[in-house]
Amino acid sequence: MFKRKILFLSFALLLSACAPVERELPVEIVADDASFFESDWIFASVERVVDGDTIRIKDVNLDYVSDLDLVKELSEVGPSVRVRFLAVDTPEDTNVKQLYGRESTERVQELLKSGYVVIEIDENADFDRYDRLLGHIFTVDGVNVQEVLLREGLARVAYLYDDYKYVDDYFEAEAEALAKGLNVHSIEGYVTERGFDMSVVE
C-alpha cells in the first residue's frame, strides 16, 4: 500500500488581513499510528513543480519538526524552498529533456493538484549537496508520491546513501513496474545505475 494510515484535515492556507501579510498553515492531524509522531513533518503549499523529482514549496509550517537545527536552517533559507524527492530519480524535464520526463512531471502536478504537500523528513537525510531539502513526499490525503512514480514506471530507486525509511516499499514498487515493462522500463537499457540512457531510444 502506498497510502499512509494518516488523515490530514483542515489543510487550508489562511492569509491574515493585517499588514504585512502573514501566512499561516494550520493543520489538524488525526493519526491512527503513534509512529507518526516519531518523525518530523513539514506542511507547505506548492509553489511549483520543477520536474518529476523536485518541487518548490512556500508558506512552510514547521510546527511538527522537532529538530531545532533543521527548523533554524529552513527558517534561514527564505520564503521559497527547493525540495528533492528522497531515494528516487526521474528522467530530466528541465534544460535537458529525456523520455518520460514530461510524464513524470505531469504526474507529480496531478498528485499535488490540491496546491499543498506534506513532507516527512527522514532521520538519515535532510539536505543534499545542492542545499535542497530531502524528504518523502505525500499528498494531503496520505499518498506517497515517490511510491506512485515508481509503481507507474516513471522513476527509479536511486541515491541510497543511507538506510532510508520506505526503501523496501520503493524497491517493491519499482520491481512491479519493471515486471510489467511500464514506461521507463519499456525500453531495454534505458534505466541504468547512473540514470537514464537516451542513446538506446530510437
Catalytic residue status for 132: yes
User: Which residues, at least 6 apart from 147, have a Cβ–Cβ distance to it below 8 Å?
Assistant: 2, 166, 169, 170, 173
Cβ neighbour number for residue 177 with a 10 Å cutoff: 22
Under DSSP, the state recorded for 21 is: -
User: Which residues, at least 6 apart from 142, have a Cβ–Cβ distance to it below 8 Å?
Assistant: 3, 4, 5, 6, 7, 8, 118
Catalytic residue status for 84: yes
**Measured between alpha carbons, how far is 53 from 61 in angstroms, rounded to an integer?**
21
Radius of gyration of the CA atoms of the chain, in A: 17
Active-site entry in 4, 84, 107, 156: 84
Residue-level length of the chain: 202
Catalytic residue status for 107: no
Q: Which is it for the CA torsion 191, 99, 107, 94, positive or negative?
A: positive
Amino acid identity, position 67? D
Active-site entry in 4, 47, 92, 120: 92
Greatest C-alpha distance within the chain: 58
Active-site entry in 102, 132, 172, 176: 132
Catalytic (active-site) positions:
84, 92, 132
